[in-house]
C-alpha cells in the first residue's frame, strides 16, 4: 500500500517551529517510503482562521521545500461531505441528536462537580434513552457519537509504543454543534478516510483525540490509519516554546539569515536522530528518515546549535549558490551588490566567520560601500613608523601584481623595512581599508577589493 501522510495545520497564525517540525516529519516519512504527502488546511475555526495565515503556512512550507502531492484541501470546502457522513451515521444509529440545552449541560456539570465526579455527558439522549421522549421545541440539537461503553481502544503508536484508553473514560463526542458546524475530531476522521491517509504523524497534543477518532473510524467500518505522536518542542529553558524564547515563526528565521536546508537539518534533529549524524542534506534525511529515530521524550530548541548547523551548511554550499543566496541579504542591508566585488567571492571569503547570511551581509559592508574610519582608533595605531610603512605600500600598490600572495609579501617586507612586525602593519591596514579590524586575512580582502578601491581608501585615511 502506498504510504500517504498529511500535514493538517489550522490557519490561525504563522507556521511555528513545532508545526514545521511535524510537517517535516510527515513529509520525510512519505518521501522515504516513496509515498505521497498531502496538505490539508483545517480552517473550520472561522473566527480565528485567516487567508493571511494560510499564505504564511504555504510560504513557510515552500521555503523549507516541503512539497506536497495533493492539496491544499480546505475543510470549509468539504462541508457537504461532512453533512452527508453525519446523515449516514444518524441513519445507521452510530450517532444521535442531543437536545440538551446549554443550561441543562451547565446544571449537569455543576451536579457532577459537586459530587466530585469528572464532568461528562450522561447519555440522556442516547438512542436507548431517548425512546419515547419528545424533542423540545426550539433546541437545535448537537450530534453526538455513540461511543462504545465497554472495552478499550488501543493502538501501536509509531513513537510512543502501545497506547490504550478505556472506553468508559471517553465521552460521547460531539460530531456537530447545534448550529450544524462539524467538530475537529469528526472532520479529521472523514478527511483522513477520504484522503486515504495511511499514517498520521502529528503532535502529541492530539494523543487524547486519537482513541475518539479510532472509535469513529471503526463505527464507520473503516480501518484507522497508523498513528505516530511526536513530542512537543520545548524552549531552551524546558518550558513550552513561546514568543518569550525569541523567534517562533519559521519565516522569521529566513529574515534572520538562516538557510532553509540548515533549518530542515536543524528541525529534523529536534527529536530525531540517525546515529551520530549532525549535518545532513535533505536527500540524506529522506534516505534515513524513519519513526524509529524519533525520541519519545520532548526535545529542546537550541539557538547555538541552529547557528552552528547554519554555518556548517554555509561552509558546504557551492560558491555560485552561496553568492546568490547572499545577494538579497546585501540588498536588505542597504548595499548595492553591483558596487563591489562579485558576491560569490565575498561570500567565500566571509563564510568561515559568519553564522548567518545577515551576519555575512553585515560583515560584507566594506566591500560595497566606503566604510567610516574611526579617526581616534586610527590615531592610536598610527605611529610614525606605521604611517611611513602604509605610505610606502600606497605607492608600491600602484604597480604591484594584484594577487593575494604579492600583497602579503609586500606588507611583510614593508613591515620589516620599518622595523615592525607584520601585524603592526596589517591591523591598521584593516582599519584604513575596511573600517574595522574584524576581517578575514587582509591580503585576501585587498585582493578582492581591487587596486583602486584599496588605494583610494588608503589615501583618504592617510591624507595623501
Q: Check if the beta carbon of residue 394 is closer than 8 Å to that of residue 459.
A: yes
- Separation CA 297–CA 276 (nearest Å): 18
Q: What is the DSSP letter of 232?
A: P
What ranges make up the beta strands (E) of 209-280?
Answer: 226-230, 233-234
Contact status: 206 vs ligand GLU (CB under 6 A):
yes
Contact status: 42 vs ligand GLU (CB under 6 A):
yes
- Separation CA 310–CA 299 (nearest Å): 19
Three-state secondary structure along 137-197? CCCCCEEEECCCCCCEEEEEECCCEEEEEEHHHCCCCEEECCCCCECHHHHHHHHHHHCCC
Q: Residues 229-268 vs ligand GLU: string with x where CB under 6 A? A: ----------------------------------------
Contact status: 10 vs ligand GLU (CB under 6 A):
yes
Nearer to ligand GLU, 15 or 142 (CB): 15
Residue nearest to ligand GLU (CB): 202
* DSSP secondary structure of 58-125: HHHHHHHT---SEEEEEGGGGHHHHHHHHHHHHHTTSEEEE---HHHHHHHHHHHHHTTPPP----TT
Contact status: 435 vs ligand GLU (CB under 6 A):
no
- Separation CA 110–CA 117 (nearest Å): 10
Contact status: 211 vs ligand GLU (CB under 6 A):
no
> Which of 387, 398, 399, 392 is closest to 432 using CA atoms?
387
> Environment class of residue 306 by beta-carbon count within 10 Å: exposed (0-12), middle (13-18) or buried (19+)?
buried
CA 392 from chain centre, in angstroms, equals: 54
Stretch that binds ligand GLU, among 2-10, 111-119, 236-244, 253-261 (CB under 6 A): 2-10
Residue 315 among the catalytic residues: no
221 in the Ramachandran plot: left (φ > 0), alpha (ψ -120 to 50) or beta?
left
Quote the least distance from Cβ 211 to ligand GLU, whole Å: 13
- Catalytic annotation, pick one of 240, 243, 315, 421: 243
- Separation CA 262–CA 268 (nearest Å): 10
Quote the least distance from Cβ 69 to ligand GLU, whole Å: 17
Quote the least distance from Cβ 242 to ligand GLU, whole Å: 16
Nearer to ligand GLU, 86 or 188 (CB): 188
Quote the least distance from Cβ 195 to ligand GLU, whole Å: 11
Question: What DSSP element (H or E) covers 4?
Answer: strand 4-7
Nearer to ligand GLU, 201 or 363 (CB): 201
Cell 490561525, located at residue: 12
Cell 574584524, located at residue: 438
Quote the least distance from Cβ 208 to ligand GLU, whole Å: 12
Contact status: 212 vs ligand GLU (CB under 6 A):
no
Nearer to ligand GLU, 215 or 265 (CB): 215
Stretch that binds ligand GLU, among 7-15, 78-86, 160-168, 347-355 (CB under 6 A): 7-15
Quote the least distance from Cβ 202 to ligand GLU, whole Å: 4
Stretch that binds ligand GLU, among 8-16, 104-112, 351-359, 452-460 (CB under 6 A): 8-16
Q: Residues 183-202 vs ligand GLU: string with x where CB under 6 A? A: -----x-------------x
- Separation CA 44–CA 16 (nearest Å): 20
Among positions 4, 5, 9, 176, the unique one binding ligand GLU when judged by CB under 6 A: 9
Quote the least distance from Cβ 269 to ligand GLU, whole Å: 22
Size of the site for ligand GLU (CB under 6 A): 7
Nearer to ligand GLU, 187 or 354 (CB): 187
Q: What separation in angstroms does the CA of 383 have from each of 10, 221, 409, 428, 439?
A: 66, 89, 21, 10, 22
Stretch that binds ligand GLU, among 6-14, 55-63, 384-392, 414-422 (CB under 6 A): 6-14
Residues 67 to 106: which contact ligand GLU by CB under 6 A?
none
Nearer to ligand GLU, 227 or 366 (CB): 227
Question: Which residues are the active-site residues?
Answer: 243
Site for ligand GLU, rule CB under 6 A: 8-10, 42, 188, 202, 206
Amino acid at each position: 500500500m502506498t504510504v500517504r501522510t498529511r500535514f493538517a495545520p489550522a490557519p490561525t497564525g504563522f507556521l511555528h517551529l513545532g508545526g514545521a517540525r511535524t510537517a517535516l516529519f510527515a513529509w520525510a516519512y512519505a518521501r522515504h517510503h516513496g509515498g505521497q504527502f498531502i496538505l490539508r488546511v483545517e480552517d473550520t475555526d472561522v473566527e480565528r482562521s485567516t487567508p493571511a495565515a494560510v499564505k504564511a503556512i504555504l510560504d513557510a512550507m515552500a521555503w523549507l521545500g516541503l512539497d506536497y502531492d495533493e492539496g491544499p484541501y480546505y475543510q470549509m470546502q468539504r462541508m457537504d461531505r461532512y453533512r452527508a457522513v453525519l446523515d449516514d451515521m444518524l441513519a445507521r444509529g452510530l450517532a444521535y441528536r442531543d437536545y440538551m440545552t446549554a443550561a441543562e449541560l451547565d446544571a449537569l456539570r455543576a451536579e457532577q462537580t459537586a459530587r466530585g465526579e469528572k464532568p461528562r455527558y450522561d447519555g440522556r439522549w442516547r438512542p436507548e434513552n431517548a425512546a419515547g421522549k419528545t424533542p423540545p421545541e426550539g433546541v437545535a440539537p448537537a450530534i453526538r457519537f455513540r461511543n462504545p461503553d465497554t472495552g478499550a481502544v488501543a493502538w501501536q503508536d509509531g513513537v510512543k509504543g502501545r497506547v490504550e484508553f478505556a472506553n468508559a473514560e471517553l465521552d460521547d463526542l460531539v460530531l456537530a454543534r447545534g448550529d450544524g458546524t462539524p467538530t475537529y475530531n469528526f472532520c479529521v476522521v472523514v478527511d483522513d478516510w477520504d484522503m486515504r491517509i495511511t499514517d498520521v504523524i502529528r503532535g502529541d497534543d492530539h494523543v487524547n483525540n486519537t482513541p475518539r477518532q479510532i472509535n469513529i473510524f471503526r463505527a464507520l467500518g473503516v480501518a484507522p490509519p497508523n498513528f505516530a505522536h511526536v513530542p512537543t518542542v520545548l524552549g531552551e529553558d524546558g518550558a513550552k516554546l513561546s514568543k518569550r524564547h525569541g523567534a517562533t515563526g519559521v519565516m522569521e528565521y529566513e529574515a534572520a539569515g538562516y538557510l532553509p536546508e540548515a533549518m530542515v537539518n536543524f528541525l529534523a534533529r529536534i527529536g530525531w536522530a540517525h546515529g551520530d549524524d549532525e549535518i545532513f542534506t535533505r536527500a540524506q534525511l529522506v534516505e534515513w528518515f524513519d519513526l524509529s529515530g524519533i525520541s519519545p521524550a520532548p526535545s529542546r530548541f537550541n539557538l547555538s546549535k541552529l547557528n552552528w548547523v547554519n554555518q556548517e551548511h554555509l561552509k558546504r554550499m557551492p560558491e555560485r549558490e552561496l553568492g546568490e543566496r547572499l545577494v538579497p541579504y546585501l540588498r536588505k542591508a542597504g548595499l548595492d551588490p553591483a558596487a563591489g566585488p562579485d558576491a560569490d567571492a565575498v561570500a567565500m571569503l566571509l563564510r568561515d566567520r559568519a553564522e548567518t547570511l545577515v551576519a555575512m551581509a553585515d560583515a560584507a559592508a566594506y566591500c560595497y560601500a566606503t566604510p567610516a574610519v574611526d579617526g581616534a582608533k586610527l590615531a592610536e595605531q598610527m605611529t610614525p613608523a606605521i604611517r611611513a610603512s602604509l605610505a610606502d605600500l600606497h605607492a608600491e600598490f600602484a604597480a604591484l601584481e594584484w594577487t593575494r600572495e604579492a600583497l602579503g609579501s609586500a606588507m611583510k617586507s614593508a613591515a620589516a623595512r620599518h622595523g615592525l612586525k607584520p601585524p603592526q602593519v596589517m591591523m591598521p591596514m584593516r582599519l584604513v581599508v575596511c573600517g574595522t579590524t574584524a576581517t578575514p586575512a587582509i591580503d585576501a580582502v585587498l585582493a578582492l577589493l581591487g587596486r583602486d578601491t584599496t588605494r583610494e581608501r588608503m589615501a583618504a585615511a592617510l591624507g595623501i
